[in-house]
Amino acid sequence: MITFQNTSKFKVKDLRKKKLWLNSISNNEGKEIVSLSFLFVDDEEMLKYNKKYLKHESYTDVITFDSSADKKIAGDIIISLERVNDNAKFYQVSYNYELQRVMAHGLLHLLGYNDQNKEEKKIIRKKENYYLDNI
C-alpha cells in the first residue's frame, strides 16, 4: 500500500500512475511494497525534519525512514517539493521528472541502495536513470 500526503503549495499529479510505477520498481528489484508513505512538504518543514532526525542544518530534497524487513518494503519518505522545483530549474528538467527521480531515490534506499560514497552514488544514480527511462 502506498499513500501520499501533501502539505506543500506545490501539486503532485498522476498519483495512480506513480503508485503503479513505484510498485513496478520494487517488483523489478524482487521485493514487495507493503507500506510506503510519502509526505510532500516545503523547505522549512523539511529543514525541521532534517534537524530533528538527522541533526543536519541544511535543506535537502528527500529523507527516507526505513522499516523494511526482508523482501517486504515499508517506510516513510519525506520530499520537499520546493527543493524539487528548484532542482528541476537548475538541472533544466521538468518538475514531474525531477519529482519522479527523488521518489525513485527514496524508494531505492528502502530497496537497499545507499549513496554514502562516490561508488554508491554512481550505482544509485544509474538505477534512478534506468527506472526513469524504462518503466
Buried b (16+ CB within 10 A) or exposed e, 72-81: ebbbbbbbbb
* Residues 6+ positions from 114 with CB-CB distance below 8 Å: 120, 124
DSSP H or E run through 135: none
**Distances from the Cα of 62 to the Cα of 1, 127, 131, 134, 135, angstroms:** 20, 17, 18, 22, 21
Tell me the residue range of the domain where 50 lies. 2-134
Per-residue cell: 75: 517506510
Split into its structural domains, the chain has a count of: 1
Residue 63: CATH number of its domain = 3.40.390.30
Instruction: Give mean pLDDT, residues 33-50.
Output: 96
Instruction: Give mean pLDDT, residues 113-120.
Output: 96
What pTM does this model have? 0.94
Q: 97-106, pLDDT tens digit by residue?
A: 999 999 999 9
| The predicted structure's pLDDT at residue 54 | 86
Q: 53-80, pLDDT tens digit by residue?
A: 988 888 899 999 999 998 999 999 999 9
